[in-house]
Structure 1
Amino acid sequence: MTNLAEAGYLVSCLEAEGIDARLVESQSFSALGGSWSHSYELQVPLEARARAAEILRAEAEQFAGEGAEYDEFGEPIEDEPVHLVFWRPVALMALAGLATLWLSQRVPDPRQRTLPHRDAAALGAAIEALGEPLVVKSETGQTKHRLRYFSEHRVWYLESDTNGDGRLDRRQRFALDPTAQ
């Protein structure tokens, strides 16, 4: 036998009849296939061999009678009519489509409020009022980024230390007025 569950069930059947049964596992490795295979042998005492064979044949006949019936095409005959089976995949596809459509729609948040429009020059004026540029420092205390605003030119400058040597070696210019040079 190759199924442990079935082998265990048969051992239980024999033990219920008072026969001392053992299950022995055999393993083999196939180098060609690169996999292990397991098989199970049912062992009973020599004097109980005939009775165990009877019990196992009766059990096999019982399961043989429970097999499915097949139609002329080799398909198992089910109690449910075909017309009831057909609509299930169609209904599941329609349900999946509706769920996808519903979940993909964005529901507006009723608590969401619109922020007032703020002029970029007002932000520049606020930073200019500080009297010093905005600075981001590294863990060692060196200046990593510095943001400055020049109101007369309406231009922002972002200076960065890209290699960590303490010198601002990259400078980016952002003009509020695209025509400003």
Structure 2
Amino acid sequence: MSKIAILLLAAGASARMQGRDKLMEEIEGTPLLSLLYHRALQTGLPCYVAVPSQAHPRVAATGRAHVIPVPKAAEGMAASIRTGIAALPDTTEAVMILPCDMPELQTQDLLQLAAHFQGPDGPVLRATSSDGTPGHPVLFPRRCFPALGQISGDQGARNVLRSQEVQLVALPGQHAVTDLDTPEAWAHWRAGR
């Protein structure tokens, strides 16, 4: 499992947050980005964090992560994925791509997804909610890296997913699908806790 890298996507602009940075929103006194990074780190897998620049305030929330600046971050999620894939060591056999606006994902969820990895010829693994709704993270074997390195726009890796065998892995509750992109979503989620 140590050949699986976790790539945390933290280079987005938080465009729908009305001037706030969703990844720096605090949960129990800790910025969301820091919380997710530490949960990823506790898996024991190598962690990489795509950020807008080396000087961005988010870098301080990433601890000992391998920080990957994304010069074309304004393009959208694809730029973060392309840049992140290019920065991974040659020994990486798979990458678990994890958007950083998902506060319910736990260390055990990431380990559960990683445990289903079946090697270079195995399927792409995609986390779902407990009722089967597809979400994140998604684990791609190395054979997908060239295609991931060619994606563009803000659609993430959807086209790559369409071209691969995908195995769904259910995580507890809504862990795989709770993402907080707006102040209203944050307020609703906090009210429900």
Q: Is the shorter-chain TM-score for this pair beyond 0.5, marking a shared fold? A: no
What is the TM-score with the length of structure 2 in the denominator?
0.19
Structure of greater Rg: 1
Which structure exhibits the higher relative contact order, with contacts defined as CA atoms closer than 8 Å and separated by 6 or more residues? Answer: 2
What is the TM-score with the length of structure 1 in the denominator?
0.20
